[in-house]
Structure 1
């Protein structure tokens, strides 16, 4: 049985969410700054990758993923009141990074990294929403393939290093060193 190829795929798309029949524009990746990923690493949603991996350059696509194929249901229990002391630097609350609607990189006791959105700040608590921003929503992707080719050995190595937490994202736009948290977007499709 042949081992599946790791493909380097770049796509330009517009993403729309649909919640209770209301369609809303979410984001766009342009031809000039496409979303890039290497297939086979679980970097993207399974349904997204499956819909794109067999397409050729310039092929157009228009497909939907229901919430269960995307980010699941919105779970009220993932809205937490965290102790404000968690967000202090040198005994001072981090007002620069922690404010209403800020997306904050967090890490749990097991070392897993994830993002939360600040909903509210009180005297002693920060209310955080740990749900994915698109949780509970059906997604519709419309766009075209910019690039679809076999990934090089070097690209695969960079991706493996990235997944193991070593080095930057490996993209050219930021020199491969966009910081350990990948919390900015240099436009390469790897940073967030």
Structure 2
């Protein structure tokens, strides 16, 4: 089966930038996504269209096609109590905050007793990224997955 809308794709990936490898799923469970549900970077999803199990893909994306350029005005003040992921905060640490659009990862710039300055740019903003993917399996989405708008892992519904 080839990747098309509502296909569930199982894959491994390696992500790198100009300085080297940033992360990889190799050695852990493969990832799943449902094609055509805007769950991937648009250019990456477009490059996967028509591929099949056993195919590999290497794609380099400029910042504008990945996580955007770094925005200088993306520094905000927030109360420390709204930072999630650690008990004690230091500049450079990654934190999670709850927004109206859901959870978002931010970088701590400066931290005081009660307030912190955070950078809300995506941690990969401004970077040219290379994705290497190995497609392990492609299958049709179940009616339940289509209704929910995302792929379910082994054992079915996991949320």
Same fold at TM > 0.5: yes
Are the aligned partners of 1:98 and 1:104 in contact in 2 as well (CA < 8 Å)?
Answer: no
Counterpart for residue 123 of structure 1 = 113
Question: Which stretch of the first structure deviates more once superposed, 52-61 or 132-141?
Answer: 52-61
| 1:140/1:97 CA distance change after superposition, 3 Å | same
Structure 1 distance, partners of 2:37, 2:78, is 32
1:68 corresponds to 2:74: no
1:103 corresponds to 2:86: no
Are the aligned partners of 1:17 and 1:134 in contact in 2 as well (CA < 8 Å)?
Answer: no
1:55 corresponds to 2:51: yes
Structure 1 distance, partners of 2:47, 2:101, is 28
After TM superposition, give the deviation of residue 105 of structure 1 in Å: 2.7
Report Cα offsets for 1:104-156 as digits up to 9, x if no partner.
1321xxx2222322233113420111111100001101131111222121222
| 1:118/1:175 CA distance change after superposition, 3 Å | farther
| 1:104/1:35 CA distance change after superposition, 3 Å | same
Are the aligned partners of 2:94 and 2:105 in contact in 1 as well (CA < 8 Å)?
Answer: no
Structure 2 distance, partners of 1:17, 1:30, is 17
| 1:68/1:102 CA distance change after superposition, 3 Å | closer
Displaced runs of 4+ in structure 1, greater than 3 A? Answer: 93-98, 169-175
Q: Return the TM-score normalized by structure 1.
A: 0.69
Are the aligned partners of 2:85 and 2:95 in contact in 1 as well (CA < 8 Å)?
Answer: no
Counterpart for residue 36 of structure 1 = 32
Aligned residue pairs total 153
1:12 corresponds to 2:12: yes
Counterpart for residue 186 of structure 1 = none
Structure 2 distance, partners of 1:59, 1:95, is 37
Unpaired stretches in structure 1, ≥5 consecutive residues: 161-168, 178-192
